[in-house]
Amino acid sequence: MVCLALWLALVGGGAYLFFAERELLKGELAGAFSVSVVLGGAVYLLLGCLRGFTLIPATYLVLAAMAFLPPVTLFALTLLGILISSASIYYFSEWLELDAYFRRKHAAGVARVTGVLQRHQLPIIIAWSFFPLAPTDLICYVCGVLRVDFWKFIFGVLVGEGAICALYIFLGDQALHWAGWR
């Protein structure tokens, strides 16, 4: 229960920063990137690693950092942050204790999702991770609770998130070039 309370505090703090103090967050990112690309990259990676626990999509961080980091660096740091965040959620899922709530309140739905996921693990993880409207952090949590093979899980997240992030980053970079902002 303590882990759930800490997680809720982290999510609340992240949501507050993201929604109420967005300009402060942008200013801190811009300040970090203006001092040093290495420091800015480190701040970006740290935010990417912690972002998963707030359930804020990685897309927002990617868009914020796109103007500051070269595309290949941004892509590598984004994927590293997503993989660390996903692995953390996978391993901490049992401590968050949300599965008992969902099993109690939505037993039929949980059974249906569990059955489908256990039969088609990799395709579902890849598709879920790629689909922009589905929070990847949720599939990380579900895979952790169901104890899906870690390497299969992390590979699926890498493929799905890698593909969608590559589209965002490299097409976004081209758009910045076309607009004359780079």
Which residues neighbour 178 within 8 Å (Cβ) at sequence distance 6 or greater? none
Mean pLDDT, range 87-103, rounded to an integer? 77
Per-residue model confidence as pLDDT tens digits over 105-147: 767 777 787 788 888 999 999 999 999 888 888 888 888 888 8
Tokens 């059955």 belong to residue: 115
**pTM score of the predicted model:** 0.76
CA distance 15 to 18: 5
Question: Is residue 25 scored above 80 in pLDDT?
Answer: no
* Alpha helical stretches, state H, 66-149: 71-96, 98-105, 107-119, 121-130, 136-146
CA distance 116 to 139: 13
pLDDT at res. 58: 87
Using left for φ > 0, alpha for ψ between -120 and 50, and beta otherwise, residue 69 falls in beta
Quickly state the pLDDT bin for 8 (edges 50, 70, 90). Answer: low
pLDDT at res. 34: 63
Mean pLDDT of the chain: 82
Query: In angstroms, what is the C-alpha Rg of the chain?
Result: 17
